[in-house]
Structure 1
Amino acid sequence: MLGYCAQAQDGHIGSIVDFLFNEETWRIDYIGLRVGIWKTQKSLAISIDYVSGHSVWSERKLPLSLSMEELEKLPQYRHIEREPWAIEVLPNSTSNNSHNAEAQTITESKMQRRSLFRSFCRLRGLHLLTDNKDSGCVIDLIIDDQSWQIQEVVVRVGWRIFLANQVLIPIKRIHSIRWGNRALIFSGTREELCLSPSFKAEEPVNKEICTRLYDYYGRPRDWEERRGQSFPSY
């Protein structure tokens, strides 16, 4: 979905450049949107509450339930200089209509719960550690575009790219993130990681793949709800 066009009710507004997520829950709270050109570019934080329906994969579009004028007045976000892995959503006091006031209220409510978020894009490229040893590299992540939960991690195992294998692991097997060391901590052994189900980017994470994955790692609580769905890699 990165690079998709965000579609307002009355036209195209900008390109999706990131997803801002809560590190504690692994849930996407905001979509990072780039609007404008050159010196007028801005980075807007769009609450996922304003995503109207599913993304249109064939057209690379994500429909939003706001007008272009309302989107322009939503808050911006920035990376924190003292903590480059953190993202701050900046409050916006320019709203002057009821719909935008509602958007501002939701934004401020989220910010009171957690003002700092993490960058989805900066997860990619992190090392994966097993027993404090470097065992792989994060290539991609799988998001459920209904719940906006990060569900799985795609990991490249092996150091020679032409011999490396890409495997899929559940996000629940990530014990923690060490941002300073650019690493995810896997709660398992290197052998367990290497024997994880393989992943191919051109194939959706469908029922068959989910069945193999969770036969190996154990079924999540929402297995009955999820097993009939397919999720693209973002």
Structure 2
Amino acid sequence: MFNSVSHVSMAHVKAVDGDIGPIEDLLFDDRDWVIRYLVVDAGSWLAERDVLISPYSIKQPLGHDRVIDVALTRRLIHSSPPLDIERTVSRQQELAFERHYHYPAYWDGGGLWALGARPFPSVAPRPLADREAASVYPADMQLRSAEQVCGYELQAAGRGIGQVQDFVFDDESWQIRYLVVDTQSWWPRGRKVLIALPWVDRIDWARQEIHVSLTREQVKCSPVYQDVASIHRDYEILLHANYQRAGYWA
């Protein structure tokens, strides 16, 4: 099932014994484009402090009532490693985070989430010494802020086709499937369209540009995007056929 970053960003996180706080941002890795953490403002009870919440802790199904339940206690969250939201989350901070919650390293094992495609540990985490010896954080991967990437310009053959407005993700794997792009900057009668992540050729993070091998005519002929509730398999088939691309489900 699909969900959107904008929808989740309006939610509050709730522990088993009380409220944690509102979601401020979501962090995804720029290799697999999987949402790895929710950044939650716990300042109402943790003295102006932000905390990270991993999808490993989030109960399924993902709530649609602006409340996200996690299988954690406020005490455990209270003692979690500190986070400086003004800086990029470092590898050392992630390792400290995993030690605290006894999570497997999501990059260790070959799947999207350690040994699986979903953020549910299929086996008990290895002893800490074994994990630290075997786990190698990918050198080509960095965490990115969904809030900061919103507004990035999409470029097709040197021509702008719109700005990133939102992200659509699979709420079981937490992998981002589509960028929601607002095309009104060049198309006066434009609308929102979906661009799948596999269609992205490269990203210029410094210039805040995402480059794709698409044309404006293809964008104009794209099926209308309304909201995540309107995305179903028949819609996706039409979307991929318009761009002459194979579906990820094939």
TM-score calculated relative to the size of structure 1: 0.78
- What is the alpha-carbon distance in structure 1 between the residues aligned to residue 84 and residue 225 of structure 2? 33
Aligned twin of 2:120: none
The structure whose RCO (Cα within 8 Å, separation 6+) is larger is 2
DSSP 3-state at the match of 1:129: strand
Aligned twin of 2:101: 103
Aligned twin of 2:117: none
Counterpart residue identity of residue 180, structure 1: A
- What is the alpha-carbon distance in structure 1 between the residues aligned to residue 36 and residue 232 of structure 2? 24
- What is the alpha-carbon distance in structure 2 between the residues aligned to residue 147 and residue 135 of structure 1? 29
Q: Does 1:222 align with 2:249?
A: yes
CA deviation after TM superposition for structure 1 residue 208, in Å: 3.2
User: Structure 1 residues 177 and 94, CA, compared in 2 at 3 Å: closer, same or farther?
Assistant: closer
Aligned twin of 1:186: 212
CA deviation after TM superposition for structure 1 residue 183, in Å: 1.2
Which shows bigger deviation, 126-135 or 157-166?
A: 157-166
Structure 1: runs of 5 or more not aligned: 81-85, 224-234
Cα contact 1:33–1:43 (8 A) shared by 2 = yes
User: Structure 1 residues 13 and 154, CA, compared in 2 at 3 Å: closer, same or farther?
Assistant: same
CA deviation after TM superposition for structure 1 residue 190, in Å: 2.6
Aligned twin of 2:69: 63
- What is the alpha-carbon distance in structure 2 between the residues aligned to residue 16 and residue 213 of structure 1? 31
- What is the alpha-carbon distance in structure 2 between the residues aligned to residue 13 and residue 162 of structure 1? 42
- What is the alpha-carbon distance in structure 1 between the residues aligned to residue 198 and residue 94 of structure 2? 35
DSSP 3-state at the match of 1:167: strand
DSSP 3-state at the match of 2:19: strand
Q: 1:42 aligns with which of 39, 46, 49?
A: 49
CA deviation after TM superposition for structure 1 residue 159, in Å: 2.0
- CA deviations 1:76-123 (Å, max 9, x no partner) are 25343xxxxx5446638999xxxx856155469779525841011112
Aligned twin of 1:113: 137
DSSP 3-state at the match of 1:78: coil
CA deviation after TM superposition for structure 1 residue 196, in Å: 2.1
CA deviation after TM superposition for structure 1 residue 74, in Å: 2.5
Q: 1:73 aligns with which of 45, 63, 79?
A: 79
Counterpart residue identity of residue 103, structure 1: Y
Cα contact 2:31–2:142 (8 A) shared by 1 = no
Aligned twin of 2:93: 91
- What is the alpha-carbon distance in structure 2 between the residues aligned to residue 194 and residue 210 of structure 1? 16
CA deviation after TM superposition for structure 1 residue 177, in Å: 1.7
Q: Does 1:9 align with 2:16?
A: yes
- Give the 5 Å matches for 1:163-174: 163-174=189-200
User: Structure 1 residues 18 and 109, CA, compared in 2 at 3 Å: closer, same or farther?
Assistant: same
Percent identical among aligned pairs is 22
Structure 2: runs of 5 or more not aligned: 1-7, 109-134
Cα contact 2:12–2:68 (8 A) shared by 1 = yes
Cα contact 2:218–2:242 (8 A) shared by 1 = no
DSSP 3-state at the match of 2:62: coil
- Give the 5 Å matches for 1:125-136: 125-136=151-162
Q: Does 1:155 align with 2:181?
A: yes
- CA deviations 1:62-83 (Å, max 9, x no partner) are 1111111112223325343xxx
- What is the alpha-carbon distance in structure 1 between the residues aligned to residue 96 and residue 185 of structure 2? 50
Q: 2:163 aligns with which of 100, 121, 137?
A: 137
Instruction: Give 1 or 2: higher strand fraction.
Output: 1
Cα contact 1:16–1:31 (8 A) shared by 2 = yes
